[in-house]
Every structure is written in structure tokens, then in C-alpha cells.
Amino acid sequence: MRIAGKLAAQVLEMITEFVKPGVSTGELDDLCREFIVNDLKSIPANIGYKGFQHTICASLNNVICHGIPSHKKILKDGDILNIDVTVIKDGWHGDTSKMFIVGKTQPHNARLVQVTQECMYLGIKEVKPGARLGDIGAAIQNHAEKNYYSVVEDYCGHGIGKIYHEEPQVLHFGKKGTGLELQEGMCFTIEPMINQGSKYTKLLKDGWTVETKDGRNSAQWEHTIAVTADGYEILTRREEEIGI
Ligand code: MF3
Ligand code: CO
Ligand code: CO
């Protein structure tokens, strides 16, 4: 899991310099696929997953998650973009996503992106043996709502290992002291989706793209986490994330 997580992190590090106005999400998808296959000698887990055809999910602005990359979707100044990628190495999965600000965005978007990352980190900090899944959800929900945002409830984090999505479901809302008790060795993702407006979602007719119902923007960050004897290890940590 450490190896798969590190490789997934390297995909997001590699793609960062290419995310700028004028590039299409289809081109970003091509670059990630070639990097995973040719450089990392790994498998892009999303290709063929429940019929999905691409390596990354590319979720722009009011898209909450599972955006389909396209050569017709050209990034423009001010966009906010989530790239979500999962690699398989030696049968193990590493699943991670980050937000990119394209050029310069409005302050309200930058703030959404930052607060959503803080929500993820606050959730991660709850992880240790004896803690409960509800502690993670409560930490995320409290921080989001304190900032007048809403937490998407229709999609959640998940156990991960040799199987991409497995038990338990990791909700990004909840009550402290409730839910499954964490044990050393468990691996799961924490991947809050936070909305500027209401929490409600809309699935497009393509069967994948999930948008906010009210058309306002949404952000998401994701890490794959392992429960250690005294806390957590972020398996998909990037070099830019120091001291976490
Ligand atoms: N990586 C997503 C998650 O965090 C799932 C994407 S499934 C896909 O769980 F098929 F849309 F790629
Ligand atoms: Co995930
Ligand atoms: Co993911």
C-alpha cells in the first residue's frame, strides 16, 4: 500500500505543471495514463472500472466528482479543477486527488479550495486506533459548516487495498464517538466533497458526472490513509505536503 500510494502521489506531482489555461482535460488524462503505464509500470485503476473509460476523473467548478476527461473541455483562467487518480501496483491500490487553481481564481473559489483541504486534514488527524469513523465525519462537517459550506452526503470515502472500493464507508459527516472503531492496519480513503451552496447532487445522463444541484462550485481532496499503532500514515502524501 505504501508503494501504490507513493506512485499515485507521483501522478499528481507530475501533472501539476501541465494544468494551465488552454489545456484540455483529455490531454491531462492522456499524460497521466502514459506516465502510469510507461514510467510507473503500473495500472490505471479507473480504466474499465464499472465501464469508466479514462485514467483520471477531472471535475471542474460545479462538478462534484467523476467528471469525464474530454479533449473538448479546455481549461480557462479562474477554473477550479479536481484531478482524482488511482493506480494499481502489485495488486494494491493507491487513490488520491487534489484541487488545482487554473491561473488566478476569484477569492471565493480559492477559499473553498483551501477550506476543503483543511477539512480533509482535520479528518485525517482524528485517525488512530480506538477512534471511530464518526470522529472523522464530525471533524470534517464541523469545519465545513463553520465556514458556511455544506458536506456532500451522497458519496463517501472507502476501505481500499487489493479491492478498490470496499468496506467500510467513510462518511464525511457524523457524530463524534459513533461508528466503527479504528484498528491498526486498516486502510481507507478520506475524500470530502464540500459545496459552496447546498449539499444536493445531480447525476448527469452520461451516468458519471456528478454536479451540484444548485450550480454552485464544489471542491474535493483525497488521500489514502493507513491506521498505525499511534495514529496514521498518509500513504499518498506528496512532496509539497510537509509536516503532515
Ligand atoms: N477515485 C474515485 C474515488 O475516490 C473513484 C473514481 S471511479 C471512476 O473513489 F470510475 F469514476 F473513475
Ligand atoms: Co476514493
Ligand atoms: Co479517488
Residue 86 Cβ < 6 Å to ligand 1: yes
Contact between 120 and 190 under an 8 Å Cβ cutoff? The reply is yes
Contact between 34 and 28 under an 8 Å Cβ cutoff? The reply is no
Pocket probe for ligand 1: among 12, 55, 57, the residue whose CB has the most ligand atoms within 8 Å is 57
Closest CA to 225 of 93, 107, 77: 93
Residue 237: strand, helix, or coil: coil
Taking the C-alpha atoms of residue 235 and residue 237, their distance in angstroms, rounded to an integer, is 6
How many angstroms does the Cα of residue 68 sit away from the middle of ligand 3? 13
Mean pLDDT of the 70-90 span:
99
Write the DSSP assignment of 167-179 as a string of letters. Answer: EEEE-SS--TT-S
- Give the pLDDT band of residue 3 (cuts 50, 70, 90): very high
Taking the C-alpha atoms of residue 83 and residue 1, their distance in angstroms, rounded to an integer, is 20
Mean pLDDT of the 224-235 span:
98
How many angstroms does the Cα of residue 86 sit away from the middle of ligand 3? 6
Signed CA dihedral, 73, 77, 78, 83: sign only: positive
Residue 191 Cβ < 6 Å to ligand 1: yes
The answer, yes or no, to whether residue 244 has pLDDT greater than 90, is no
Based on its alpha-carbon atoms, the radius of gyration of the chain, rounded to whole angstroms, reads: 17
Q: For position 243, what pLDDT does the model report?
A: 84
Q: In what order do the strands lie in the sheet with 63-65?
A: 63-65, 210-212, 201-203
Percent of the chain with pLDDT over 90: 99
Q: What is the pLDDT of residues 145-203, one digit of tens each?
A: 999 999 999 999 999 999 999 999 999 999 999 999 999 999 999 999 999 999 999 99
Judged by its nearest atom, the ligand closest to the C-alpha of residue 54 is 1
Residue 108: strand, helix, or coil: helix
pTM metric for this prediction: 0.98
How many angstroms does the Cα of residue 135 sit away from the middle of ligand 1? 24
Which residues lie below 8 Å from residue 196, measured CB to CB, with a gap of 6+?
108, 112, 149, 212, 216, 217, 218
C-alpha cell at 121: 486534514
Taking the C-alpha atoms of residue 134 and residue 142, their distance in angstroms, rounded to an integer, is 12
Residue 207 Cβ < 6 Å to ligand 1: no
Residue 57 Cβ < 6 Å to ligand 1: yes
Residue 186's φ and ψ, nearest 5 degrees, are -65, 145
Q: For position 62, what pLDDT does the model report?
A: 99
- Give the pLDDT band of residue 14 (cuts 50, 70, 90): very high
Taking the C-alpha atoms of residue 109 and residue 92, their distance in angstroms, rounded to an integer, is 34
Q: What is the pLDDT of residues 92-137, one digit of tens each?
A: 999 999 999 999 999 999 999 999 999 999 999 999 999 999 999 9
Q: For position 216, what pLDDT does the model report?
A: 99
